[in-house]
Amino acid sequence: MLFRERIPLLWLLVQATLVVTWCFNAEMETGPSAGVFAQSNSDRFKIEGRAIVPGFKPQDWVFSARVLVEGEEYVGFLRTDGSFAVNDIPPGSYVVEIISPTFRFDPVRVDITSKGKMRARLVNYIKTSEVIRQPYPLQVRASGPHSYFVKRETWGWTDFLMNPMVMMMVLPLLIIVLLPKVVNTNDPEMRKEMEQSMNMLNPNPELPDVSELMTKLFSGSKGSSKTGASSKGTRPAVKRR
Partner 1 sequence: MAKIILLFLKLLGVLYTAQAVFEDQVGKFDWKQQYVGSVRFAHFDNQIQSSKKVLVATEKNVFAAINTRTGELFWRHVDKAGPEGNIDALLLQGQDAVMVVGDGRILRSWEVNVGGLNWEMVLDSGSFQSASLVGHQEHVKYVAVLKKAAISLHYLSNGHQKWIENLPESDSVDYQSVYSEGKGEVFVLGLVPHSHITVVVYSIDDGEILKQFTVEAPWMSDLQSSCSVIGKGMLTCVDASSLSLNMLDLHAHSEMNQIPLQSIGLEASSSFRPVLVSSQPNAARPPLSEFFLQIGPDQHVLLQLNNGQILTLRDFKPAMLVSFATTGEKTVAAVMSPKNKTASSINLFSAETGRRLLDTTLIFTMDPNGGNPERLYVQAFLKKDDSVGYRVIVQTEDHQLTYIQQPGRVLWTREEALSDVVTMEMVDLPLTATQAELEGEFGKKADGLMSMVLKRLSSQLILLQAWVSHLWKLFYDARQPRSQVKNEVTIENLSRDEFNLQKMMVMVTASGKLFGIDSKTGTIVWKHYLDNVPSNAAFKLMVQRTTAHFPHPPQCTLLIKDKDTGLAMLHVFNPIYGKKSHVTPPLLPQPILQSMLLPLMDQDYAKVLLLVDNQYKVSAFPSTKNVLQQLQDVASSVFFFLIDADQGRLSGYRLRTDLSTELIWEVVIPAEVQKIVTVNGKKANEHVHSQGRVMGDRSVLYKYLNPNLLALVTESTDQHQERSFVGIILIDGVTGRIIHEAVQRKARGPVHIVHSENWVVYEYWSTKSRRVEFSVIELYEGMELYNSTVFSSLDRPHAPQVLQQSYIFPSAISAMDATLTEKGITSRHLLIGLPSGGILSLPKMFLDPRRPEIVSEQSREENLIPYAPELPIRTEWFINYNQSVSRVRGIYTAPSGLESTCLVVAYGLDIYQTRVYPSKQFDVLKDDYDYMLISSVLLALFFATMISKRLAEVKLLNRAWR
Q: What residues contact residue 50 under an 8 Å CB cut-off, 6+ apart?
A: 81, 82, 83, 84, 137, 138, 139, 140
Amino acid at 107: P
Stretch that binds partner 1, among 18-26, 81-89, 113-121, 204-212 (CB under 8 A): 81-89
Q: Indicate the residue among 61 and 218 with the shorter CB distance to partner 1.
A: 61
Opening angle at CA 130, ends 129 and 132, nearest 5: 135
| Using rule CB under 8 A, residue 63 touches partner 1 | yes
For the window 102-131, what string marks contact with partner 1 as x by the rule CB under 8 A? x-x------------------x-xx-x---
| Using rule CB under 8 A, residue 157 touches partner 1 | no
| Using rule CB under 8 A, residue 165 touches partner 1 | no
Stretch that binds partner 1, among 1-9, 11-19, 56-64, 188-196 (CB under 8 A): 56-64
Helix (H) or strand (E) holding 120: strand 118-122
90 within 8 A of 19, measured Cβ to Cβ: no
Please state, as a whole number, how many other Cβ atoms lie within 10 Å of the Cβ of residue 148: 7
Of 210, 229, 218, the closest CA to residue 169 belongs to 218
Q: Which of 21, 93, 114, 224 binds partner 1 (CB under 8 A)?
A: 93
| Using rule CB under 8 A, residue 5 touches partner 1 | no
Provide the binding-site residues for partner 1, judged by CB under 8 A: 32-33, 36, 41, 44, 46, 58-59, 62-64, 66, 68, 70-80, 84-85, 87-88, 93, 97, 99, 101-102, 104, 123, 125-126, 128, 146-152, 155
